[in-house]
Structure 1
C-alpha cells in the first residue's frame, strides 16, 4: 500500500509540475504582444528608443513604413496596422470627415514646425516678383502652408477660411508668387525647380535638413500651433486598449524627450509638455 501511495503522490506531483510548466509557457507567450505601428519615411530614431523600452513590457513594436500621407490611415482603418504616428490632429479630423472613418488620437507626440526652405535665397525678403513657390497639395497641410506664407508677410488669405485656406482664397499677393501644389513628399525634391518650398518637418529631416538651422522661415510654436500637434492614432474601439496606452506612456517620458532633442536638434518639441498628454 505504501508503495502504491508513493507512486500516486509522485504521479500527482509530476502532473502538477507539467501543468505548471505548461501554464508558465502560456503565460510567457501571452506576455509577448506584437503591435504594428504605421509611420512615414525612414526616420524612426525616437520610436527606436521607445521600442527598446517597450520590450520590458512584453510589447514588440513592429514598424510598417509608408511613403504617402493617406496610406497609414487607410491601413489603420482596414486593420492592416494597429496604430499610426505621422499626422497632426487637424489632418486626422479632415481625413475622418472625407473618408467616413472613426480614427482617434490616444496621445500627443511632438510639435514639428512647418518651414520654408530655399536653395536660391537666404531670406524671404529676397524673393523677387513672380517667384516660384511649392506647397503641399492636401487640404490641411496646404492651408497650413498658406498661413505660414502669410505669417512670413508674403501673402494675405481670407480669414473666413480659418485653418483651411486654398490658393483661390489668397486676397493679396504683391509679389505675384507662382504657387504650385505638390504631394507633401515631393516638396523637398522640388527645391531645385522653385525659389522656395514649404516642407513638412518629417519630409525635411528625411531630405537631410535640420529645420531650426536650414529653414529660412520657421512656423512659430504658439496656441495657433495646437491643431498641428502630432499624435498617436488608433481605431475608436481601441482607444482604451491597455497595451496601446502602455505605448503612449512609454513615449511620453523624459527619456523620449531627450532623444527628440538630440535627433531633431531642437526642431521638434515634446508636445505633451506644452499642450498636454492628449
Structure 2
C-alpha cells in the first residue's frame, strides 16, 4: 500500500481523533487491545503525531502482513494523545520519549507504561557559518526553554565542554539554568521558546535546535557542530517508545508491533524521514519502565 492509501485510512480515523477525550470521566473501562474479526484480522488503534511520515506507511503494510489491521489515528498536537490512550480511545501510541511520558503520568495521576523502545534522535548545536566549536567561547547560546528539552540542551553543552554544572545538582539528567556554574562555563545560556531557536541560528547566534524545528526551518541536520551521545546515560530519558495502559504492556499484539517497527524496512524508511539522524534503540522492557519510574519520582 502506498502512502496516499495509508493517508486515506488515517483520514477516516481522524474524524474520531477530533472527539477523543471529549467525554472526560464518562468513558467505560478500556477494552483489551486487539479485537479479532471473522477473517482473523486483529485491529489495533494507534495514536501518533507523525502519521504522514514514510516509516508509518511501511509499518502499516508490514503489520497487515502479520494479520494486524493497524488503524492509525493522527493528532496535530502532543497533549491529547496520552489522555486518549488513558481513556481507552486508543490501544497504544507512539509519539513521545520516556521523559514526556513520565511528566504526563506525574501530572495526571495516570499509569501509562512502556511496551518497547523505538529510536532516539540526537539533540544538536548549530552555528551558522561554522563547522566546529572553534571560536564559540564567550557566545550566547540559545536553548529551548520547555521542560522536555531544556535539561537535555544544557547537557549537550556540558558534553561539548562548554558548560559546567554547579556541585550538588539535584538532578544532573535534567539540569536547569540555575544549575549552571556561570563563572566556570565558556558560553552563556539564553533560554528561548523552542520555535525561536532557528531564528537565533539565522541571526548568527549558536543555538540548540530539535528536529521538529530543524525540519520546519529547512536547516539540514548535517550542519550541526556538536550533538549529544545517544548511548550516554544523559540521553536515556529521550528514548522514544510505544506506550500503553499498564495492564496491556504484555499484550501479544502490541509487542508484535514493537518487533515490526524494528524491521529493516521500517528502519530504512525512518532513516529517510529523519535525514539520517535517527538511531535505533532496542532496550529491555523492564529496564525502560525502570527509567520511567525513576523519572516520575523526580
The verdict on a shared fold, with TM-score over 0.5 as the criterion, is yes
Please tell me whether residue 46 in structure 1 is matched to residue 46 in structure 2: no
Name the CA distance, whole Å, in 1 between partners of 2:199 and 2:247: 39
1:267 to 277, 282, 285: 277
1:154 is aligned to 162
Taking the aligned partners of 2:62 and 2:253, their CA distance within structure 1 comes to 14
**Corresponding residue number in structure 2 for 1:27:** 38
Match of 2:151 in 1: 143
Q: Return the structure number with greater strand share.
A: 1
Q: How does 1:173-212 map to 2 (within 5 A)?
A: 174-175=185-186, 177-182=188-193, 184=194, 187-188=197-198, 190-193=200-203, 195-211=205-221
1:94 Cα offset (Å): 3.0
Assess if the C-alpha contact under 8 Å between 2:143 and 2:154 holds in 1.
no
Q: Which runs of 5+ in 1 are unaligned?
A: 1-25
- Pairs aligned (count): 245
Report runs of 4+ in structure 1 exceeding 4 Å deviation: 173-176
Alpha-carbon RMSD across the aligned residues, in angstroms, is 2.8
C-alpha offsets along residues 148-189 of structure 1, whole Å, 9 cap, x if unaligned?
11112221123522212111111135456251232x455445
Name the one with the larger helix percent.
Answer: 1
Q: Match of 1:236?
A: 246
- TM-score, normalised to structure 1, is 0.75
Corresponding residue SS for 2:61: helix
Residue 233 of structure 1 aligns to a residue whose secondary structure is strand
* Map 1:1-278 → 2, pairs under 5 A: 27-28=38-39, 31=41, 33-40=43-50, 44-56=53-65, 57-67=67-77, 69-119=78-128, 121-127=130-136, 129=138, 131-138=140-147, 140-158=148-166, 160=169, 161-172=171-182, 174-175=185-186, 177-182=188-193, 184=194, 187-188=197-198, 190-193=200-203, 195-211=205-221, 213-224=222-233, 225-272=235-282, 275-276=283-284
Going from structure 1 to structure 2, the CA distance change for 1:70 and 1:193 (only over 3 Å counts) comes to: farther
Change (3 A) 1:162 1:266: same
